[in-house]
Chains A and B, each alone.
Chain A
Amino acid sequence: ILNVEQSPQSLHVQEGDSTNFTCSFPSSNFYALHWYRWETAKSPEALFVMTLNGDEKKKGRISATLNTKEGYSYLYIKGSQPEDSATYLCAFGSGFGNEKLTFGTGTRLTIIP
């Protein structure tokens, strides 16, 4: 079983502040790295799917970077808003074996108004 780790486990951020968190994954046999946002009582929704080393993706105030050689991805949120409160999940797709994704345990973000 592949090891995908996210840190921190939880985070409280003041509204308006910026924040970031980390996803660590195996640096060998990389194929894809996904980020999902999971709000309470809703479905997890995809934020980004990243495949290339050095890739940077942006959606509004949220952005992500990818380093496949060292096995990490950062998710950044600029100017946090209450609607950003959610659990953020990353998922690693290996180039070896079948096409399943391995998820991290998530970072639970709470924005304090």
Chain B
Amino acid sequence: NAGVTQTPKFQVLKTGQSMTLQCAQDMNHNSMYWYRQDPGMGLRLIYYSASEGTTDKGEVPNGYNVSRLNKREFSLRLESAAPSQTSVYFCASRARQGTRMVHQPQHFGDGTRLSIL
């Protein structure tokens, strides 16, 4: 069981370049999330998707866009990368029944380590 799969694992970009981080889950979860993790800052929510076809901003959305391509896949795009976006990015998913969250934890991918020069 793969769970949550993120690609790539590592990436180095130059300032101004664009890039899409990919995330896929095989647990049939409705809700998916993108976080960034920086030293001393914990995990902060960038965007989330409660269900296929919907996306919403989290705590730190500026400089990012997302696409919920289908139930399995949720991508994060940096249109014009900036050094402040150097971070480790985690995708997560969670089960949901209708409009109610199921009492189960979020499951995380292994992360993408992104450096922007």
Q: Do A and B come from one complex?
A: no
